[in-house]
Amino acid sequence: MQQELFNQVIEMFDTPEKWNDYLELSSQRETIQKIWYGRFWNALNEHFKKEENKVKGWAFNQWGWNAKWYLESFDDQIVSLWLDGNLELSLYQNSQIDKISAKLKEPRYAPILDCFERKDSLFQEQWRIVSERRNFHFGDRDNSAFDGNFGDLKPELLMWYAGNKTDMLVSQVVAKVDKFRRDEKVTALLHEVNELTKT
């Protein structure tokens, strides 16, 4: 099957012009990906900057292809939610790392970690407490092995969705982040954890 498909692809390039067109398009791959990614990050920023989408006590900051949500009463370098340029959502910490990680292992603080739909990394990376890696769905569960599984080898495929299913991706990020921002218990627990950095 694989060889048959490969032979069909080779037959598509039956003229030097077609091959040249393919090479030119391939060389523009990064530019296309940046355009698609830009659509997503602009839409995400617009969503969280709207007054009706703000949550009291929570701040939002976006720079380049990164975004953070954190409690306003604390610095964004303490415990915060971070969506990085690879679309990996993490609970991030940059101060009192050992103390905060130990506290979050206590059952009392489980609701914070339970906000993640999937924990792809838990207490494995020093400054990322927990990470959920590219866990997004686009209704392709029957047609795509990647849906919900845009792992380390498929971030470029996720860029297509970022640029062509932008609203779907933004709404999924919003839903993930709002599990933290709109839950009073989780917010209170995050406040407690952040207080640890003062002692």
Burial class (CB in 10 A: 0-12, 13-18, 19+), 106: exposed
Q: What is the pLDDT of residues 14-60, one digit of tens each?
A: 888 888 888 888 889 889 989 999 999 999 999 999 999 999 999 99
Asked if 78 contacts 70 with a C-beta cutoff of 8 angstroms, the reply is yes
Environment class of residue 99 by beta-carbon count within 10 Å: exposed (0-12), middle (13-18) or buried (19+)? Answer: middle
Counting residues of the chain whose pLDDT is more than 90, the rounded percentage is: 46
**Looking at 67-71, 133-137, 152-156, which range is the least confident one?**
152-156
| Residue 115: domain span | 30-198
149-156: average pLDDT = 66
Determine contact, residues 89/134, Cβ cutoff 8 Å.
no
The three-class DSSP label of residue 115 is: coil
Is there a domain that residue 25 lies in?
no
Q: Specify if 11 maps to a domain.
A: no
Count structural domains, the chain.
1
Q: Is residue 20 part of a domain?
A: no
State the pLDDT confidence band at 145, using cuts at 50, 70 and 90. Answer: low
The token duo for 57 is: 């006590």
Residue 3 in domain: no
